[in-house]
Structure 1
């Protein structure tokens, strides 16, 4: 499409972008305008440090030099899609790991609050959290968050 539209319709999964004479900000804005980032294959007219830097900046999954032949296009598409799929899987896994880490931090914070206020050890504190979660049919994360919130309220109540 020419000129390049301001946003990318969601229906596109693969985009060929000519990076010659384009700014990284404009290309990133275009690529990220879709709800799900597409596979990006950069088309470049010449190699120089600024063009290569631009290709890295936009997160291209493959590169096709001009002039390109039909023989190289299909292999570029296949490799780019595979790289894109791996990237999406890694992002999903990273999101899960970050969420898990946040949840572990919540449980640990709640355990330390219970240990401090109840004079119990770490194992006993976790058992209190676990038993409360089972009794209320909820998760240990929700119970931990409740303990953290209650402690915060009590701390603020004591200051006021």
Structure 2
């Protein structure tokens, strides 16, 4: 297959960054030790769990370590390539889903900031929703920044000004 292979036994304490894919024998291993090993790397490698038997606790361990694919012992050549490619595909999709989720959370947070800032402007200036957003947009363009930053500044300013009113 043209892959460079290395092996290690017993399980090392830390993961080496040079590996893209790891076949990890999880039979008779505890999930805490395996997770410590897997999480010792900042690079997220594809994990193919190698199991000697299937039972509920073994399946729980596989889910616990977030394995991307599974191979059963005894290992046969016919299943290795499939497990490798499937694991790589799942790892890639997981990475993309996490990236997309983070982007959506950031966008939702920014939308909430803009809505909060619009509410503050509407209350203080007695203007409607569109006018408040137009003011935020105008400031963002004038300051060459985005509406979320201007909105955060409005929220911060309102918070500071309300603190002055309480004393």
Moved more, 101-110 or 29-38: 29-38
Per-residue deviation at 1:36?
2.1
2:38 is matched with which residue? 31
Return the alpha-carbon distance in structure 2 between the equivalents of residues 154 and 7 of structure 1.
51
Gaps of 5+ in 1: none
Return the alpha-carbon distance in structure 2 between the equivalents of residues 24 and 156 of structure 1.
50
Q: Does 1:119 align with 2:126?
A: yes
Moved more, 19-28 or 38-47: 19-28
Gaps of 5+ in 2: 1-7
2:4 is matched with which residue? none
Aligned with 2:58 (options 48, 51, 60)? 51
Q: What is the TM-score with the length of structure 2 in the denominator?
A: 0.92
RMSD: 1.0
Aligned with 1:109 (options 111, 116, 133)? 116
Aligned with 1:153 (options 146, 157, 160)? 160
Q: What is the TM-score with the length of structure 1 in the denominator?
A: 0.96
CA deviation map 1:44-99 (0-9, x unaligned): 01111100110011111110001111121111101110111111111111111111
